[in-house]
Amino acid sequence: MKKFAIISIVSVFLILVLSCNQRNEEQDRLATVKEMQVLMKDNNFEAARLVAIDTLDPQLKSLYYEADKQLGHASHLDVRCNERIEEILYEIVKKVPANNIRFNRDIYAELNALYPENELYKKKYIYYDRKQRGVINY
């Protein structure tokens, strides 16, 4: 009987805590949506975009993509996808022997295409490309 009473009390307490958290989350979500709508109305798309980053809420995501589209940015999902591709390619290329010139060149070409500002990828691609074409013989 005591166990049942304790379980009942704990259950009621957990329900109260969860319902309070849900109310707070809903209030936070609505405040964020309102803030993004105001920022977008003021054509402050960059600020609206930053407010929405990493949210899982569908309404916020749609506002995020709208702000991103207005700025002409790649979507956040595209950026995350590129980061994952980079991670996979870099893990592969670290395991490729240096004497496998064509494979190294091809992977660094992909990495360089994803991130042309990355000097390491650019240098490695140029190195393996020149080696593949016979310009470098060592």
Q: Does residue 129 share a domain with residue 81?
A: yes
Q: Which residue range is the domain that position 48 belongs to?
A: 2-73
Judged against a pLDDT cut of 80, whether residue 17 lies above it is answered with: no
Whether residue 138 lies inside any domain: the answer is no
Can you give the pTM of this predicted structure? 0.46
Exposure string for 81-119, b = 16+ CB within 10 A, e = fewer: eeeeebeebeeebeeeeeeebeebbbbbebbbeeeeeee
Give helix 2-41 / helix 45-52 axis angle, nearest 10°: 170
Answer yes or no: do 42 and 54 share one domain.
yes
Rounded distance, CA 29 to CA 128, Å? 50
Q: What is the mean pLDDT of residues 27-56?
A: 75
- Within-domain flag for 98: yes
Domain count, the chain: 2
Contacts of 115 (CB under 8 A, 6+ apart): 82, 86, 121
**DSSP code string of 67-124:** HHHHHTPPPHHHHHHHHHHHHHHHHHHHHS-TT-HHHHHHHHHHHHHH-TT-HHHHHH
* pLDDT tens readout for residues 54-68: 465 667 667 766 776
Mean pLDDT of the chain: 75
Confidence of residue 19 (pLDDT cuts 50, 70, 90): low
Are 65 and 90 members of one domain?
Answer: no
**Of 73, 103, 119, at which residue does a domain stop?**
73
Please identify, among 33, 50, 73, the residue that sits at the C-terminal boundary of a domain.
73
Calculate mean pLDDT across residues 80-91: 82
81 and 123 both lie in a single domain: yes
If asked whether residues 17 and 66 sit together in one domain, one would say: yes
